[in-house]
Structure 1
Amino acid sequence: MARYTGPKSKIARKFREPIFGPDKVLERKNYPPGMHGPSKRRGKESEYSVQLKEKQKVKYTYGVLERYFENLFHRASAKEGITGENLLKFLEARLDNVVYRLGIAPTRSGARQLVGHKHINVNGEVVNIASYQVKPGDVISVREKSKSLEAITASVAGRRISKYSWIEWDANSLTGKLLNYPNRDEIPENIKENLIVELYSK
């Protein structure tokens, strides 16, 4: 499966952000990894470097690879509206991300695994493709046989009241719905999508 399986704290330190969720290592060492630690003198980053790093951060955040990301960007640029915002909406509408947002899994990688192992239904049918694009009105649910899985019950039990206005959740039936694509100001991740657009515009 196309996903990052290396040291997550190292990536979080590289971007100085909790890319994969809360990270105690990042709290202790909020500086890039390297043998010289925080004392290493680091030169000023070029414009290209800043843009490339932003793209890498988004790819790690949503767990996607370069070819898929580039294709998604071209789809976003062809769609009416602001390209950067369209790109984030497409990423947010990925099935694994929607499962994560609903609280069925505590992380995106965990959500991807649930989807890949056929524990998730879309409109009553099993879908095991993490990149599947969920559309407004689609109903996402946990398969009946999977509702007792410890990973799912633990995640749902720790779920707080949804802070995402674009989805709704029924805890009794373990069912959610994508109401609409989120507006840019509703997506909590610290992403400067304009830098990615500038990168691809060169």
Structure 2
Amino acid sequence: MARNLDPKCRQCRREGEKLFLKAEKCFTDKCAIERRAYAPGQHGQKSGQRLSGYGQQLREKQKIRRIYGVLERQFRKTYFEADRRKGATGENLLQLLEGRLDTVAFRMGFGGSRAEARQVVRHNGVLINGKRVNIPSYTLRPGDVVQLTDATRAHLRTKAALAAAAGRGFPEWIEVDAAAGKGIFKAFPQRAELSSTINESLVVELYSR
């Protein structure tokens, strides 16, 4: 299975903002963005560099890919599915990414990061409507019940991730019982409920070239 093995803090610095790829570290002053808020590499501290229109579109696509942990081929496939559906393509794209099992597992606190939540899914630690599903890209439907297996819920790391997520609060589009390690995917999120730092229209422009 292909994976992005680039250092996670380096990815955040390249995009110039927190992508929350390192679990609890991202919420402390140890975060790389807090210490070195410039791009990595020999020329990272040079200021005044301007991107072309294409460059801005490409950077936005890379940022979204890194946030959701999706490789290029899978991201492109998701985009074309979003374009095929009715409604705004950009919003459809974000909804499809948010509807992935690994993303929902992360939102519910089953892992401290998306990568950790994806590992829980891959290791058969998640049930959907009582059935075991180990495909991170599985798209949920509104009303689906997602829960941890008893063995996975007993892990100390999983308990810590659930407690941390409960402390920060859960999104409106999911309902979570942290004590039971169980939640309901109520609906696909509306655009206003998602991050305002994402400019999905740039991605639409990029693929419309």
Same-fold call, TM cutoff 0.5: yes
Q: Does residue 192 of structure 2 align to residue 196 of structure 1? A: no
Are residue 82 (structure 1) and residue 92 (structure 2) matched? no
Q: Structure 1 residue 104: deviation in Å?
A: 1.4
The runs of 5 or more residues in structure 1 that have no matched partner are none
Report the residue type matching 1:101 in the other structure: R
With over 3 angstroms needed to count, the CA separation of the structure-2 counterparts of 1:144 and 1:47, relative to structure 1, is same
Shift of 1:141: 0.2
Q: Which stretches in structure 2 are left out of the alignment for 5+ residues?
A: none
Where has structure 1 moved over 6 Å in runs of 4 or more?
none
Q: Tell me the percent identity.
A: 41
The alpha carbon displacement at 1:149 in A equals 1.1
- Map Cα deviations across residues 7-37 of structure 1 (whole Å, 9 max, x no partner): 1121111111111251622111111112244
CA contact (8 A) 2:108 2:170 kept: no
Q: Secondary structure at the match of 2:146?
A: strand
8 Å contact from structure 2 (residues 111, 162) kept in 1: yes
What's the CA shift for 1:162?
3.1
Match of residue 145 from structure 1: 151
Query: 1:135 aligned to 2:127?
Result: no
Task: Give per-residue Cα distances to partners, 1:11-67, cap 9 Å, x unaligned.
Answer: 1111111112516221111111122442x2553211001000100111111011111
**Please, what is the CA RMSD of the aligned residues?**
1.5
Report whether the alignment pairs 1:107 with 2:113.
yes
- Equivalent position amino acid for 2:9 in 1: S
**TM-superposed deviation, 1:161:** 5.8
Moved more, 8-17 or 133-142: 8-17
SS state of the match for residue 158, structure 1? helix
Q: Which residue of 2 aligns with 1:10?
A: 10
Q: CA deviation at 1:147?
A: 1.7
Q: Which amino acid aligns with 1:26?
A: I
Where does residue 184 of structure 2 map in the other structure? 177
TM-score by length of 2: 0.91
Q: How many residues align?
A: 201
